Amino acid sequence: MPTSAGGGTLPIEMIMDDGDDVAKLDADGVKQLARNLGADLVGIASAKTLNAFPPDPLWPQTPERISQNCRSVIVIVCRIPVAAFRCKSSVAVQYLDMLVMRRMDKIAYRVAEALEQDGHPSFVTAAQETDWDYKRASYGRLSTRHLGIEAGLGTFGLEVNILTPEFGPRVYLTGVLTDLELEPDQIMTEQVCIGESCSRCLHSCPTNAVKHFGIDKRDCASEAQEFGFMTSLPIWEKFIDGDAETRKQLFKSRDIYGFWQGLLRVVGSFGDCPRCLAVCPVGNDYHAFLTEHQKVIPEKTDDKVAKAKGFKQARKAGDEIDGLNEWNRRWVGPDGYQGIVARQLKEFREMQSERAGASSEDAETAE
Ligand code: SF4
Ligand code: SF4
């Protein structure tokens, strides 16, 4: 089965060919196609459901605002290679982010192309673009996190990233909007995030931006978008108001170089801070390669520990919490945390010891 990144230029029929027949483009066929093209996870959300449950009803990020014809959204997920989170600085993760998104967009494009060839007009959403008319922060025409949750691929973390059971929050997502009615996946009702008693994302956040199943986007942006649009504004203001000497100094500054590099390669303009992704203990990628590396969180302070404790008490007391209100609970997992990470870890350890047993048997046979 051809599985080259993004499917290369192989004809769709070859990618769909399972050896006997060319697979049909129903829900299973579309998912198989996306996986064959290199997607790590795939799910399907119904456009009707997405229209009925916008992340914020006052600012509806819904398919119907984009196209009246959209019936289904195919959600494509690509994981960020875990090695990036074992590095001494965030440079590796910043560059890999770009590569992962390029790969993901190519896969989505090929899926849309296959659907169109099969008679179903389809197109890919811009996963990382901001709609300037929306709230004054980075809000896209669709929220890819919510797409993923509605497609049954995970639930919100405390820091409102999507947590997939397979790779935690170390993923990027995009959506293919299609006229084709496909069988949607069921939303998960079990909370994937360990929650307040974990709070590792909160402990690691350099700007203390993590709220109770929420995020302060501006505080987060100061680290995650070091050379993003909002962070560029004060520099331009300084330039406009400055005298000749100030302008000359600014031209030579690291900031201007950073923005130039951001324009050129997107590096630094978003996804700049990997900390809450790196420390989240959800996913077998974490169990396999990050447990030791991310055990200690240097950014952890007494204040952050107290903040997490306050979250725990508030939830226990049934206090009103914005991130857990009736509307948002749908995406957090209404059944609450039931130990999915512990179950996953147990299975992972069993699998590891089976593998170790099998390889020592192989070694004995070879002797
Ligand atoms: S990306 Fe960085 S700054 Fe933003 S919430 Fe995560 S840890 Fe905090
Ligand atoms: S680090 Fe812990 S609290 Fe934060 S999102 Fe991951 S599981 Fe949830």
- Each of the 367 residues of the chain gets a pLDDT tens digit; together they read 334 444 445 556 656 655 554 568 899 999 999 999 999 999 999 999 999 999 999 888 999 999 999 999 999 999 999 999 999 888 888 889 989 999 999 999 999 999 999 999 999 987 667 777 776 666 788 999 999 999 999 999 999 999 999 999 999 999 999 999 999 999 999 999 999 999 999 999 999 999 999 999 888 988 877 777 777 888 888 889 999 999 989 888 888 888 887 777 777 776 678 999 999 999 999 999 999 999 999 999 999 999 999 999 999 999 999 999 999 999 999 999 999 999 999 999 999 888 888 877 776 776 6
Task: Tell me which H or E stretch contains 156.
Answer: strand 155-156
- Rounded distance between C-alpha atoms, residue 260 and residue 116, angstroms: 38
pLDDT tens figures, 213-269: 999 988 898 887 777 777 788 888 888 999 999 998 988 888 888 888 777 777 777
Rg (CA), the chain: 22
* Strands ordered across the beta sheet of 122-124: 41-46, 72-79, 171-178, 122-124
194 Cβ below 6 A of ligand 2: yes
- Rounded distance between C-alpha atoms, residue 173 and residue 53, angstroms: 19
- Amino acid sitting at position 220: C
Q: How many CB atoms lie within 10 A of CB 315?
A: 17
Query: Measuring from atom 6 of ligand 1, which residue has the nearest CA?
Result: 276
Q: Mutation test of ligand 2: which of 164, 194, 215, 312 has the most ligand atoms closer than 8 Å to its C-beta?
A: 194
159 Cβ below 6 A of ligand 1: yes
Give which of 67, 40, 30 is closest to 184, Cα–Cα. 30
Task: Tell me which H or E stretch contains 46.
Answer: strand 41-46
User: What pLDDT does residue 120 have?
Assistant: 96
User: What pLDDT does residue 137 have?
Assistant: 64
User: What pLDDT does residue 2 have?
Assistant: 39
- Using CB atoms within 10 A of its CB, is residue 51 exposed (0-12), middle (13-18) or buried (19+)? middle
Query: Measuring from atom 4 of ligand 2, which residue has the nearest CA?
Result: 201
In degrees and rounded to multiples of 5, residue 45 shows phi and psi of -115, 145
3-class SS letters over 60-85: CCCHHHHCCCCCEEEEEEEECCHHHH
Tell which atom from ligand 2 comes closest to the C-alpha of 341: 7
255 Cβ below 6 A of ligand 1: no
Query: Measuring from atom 8 of ligand 1, which residue has the nearest CA?
Result: 205
Q: Mutation test of ligand 2: which of 161, 192, 193, 337 has the most ligand atoms closer than 8 Å to its C-beta?
A: 193
Whole-prediction pTM: 0.88
| Domain locations along the chain | 5-192, 200-332
User: What pLDDT does residue 257 have?
Assistant: 83
Tell which atom from ligand 1 comes closest to the C-alpha of 219: 3
CA distances from 225 to 130, 199, 267, 273 (A): 13, 23, 9, 8
Ligand closest to 342 (CA) is 2
- Rounded distance between C-alpha atoms, residue 86 and residue 73, angstroms: 34
How close are the terminal C-alpha atoms of the chain, in Å? 35
pLDDT tens figures, 48-60: 999 999 999 988 8
Q: CATH fold of 5-192, please?
A: NADH Oxidase (3.40.109)
Q: How many CB atoms lie within 10 A of CB 302?
A: 7
- Rounded distance between C-alpha atoms, residue 95 and residue 249, angstroms: 28
280 Cβ below 6 A of ligand 2: yes
158 Cβ below 6 A of ligand 2: yes
Give every CB contact of residue 333 below 8 A, 6+ residues apart in sequence: 155, 156, 188, 189, 190, 191, 192, 193
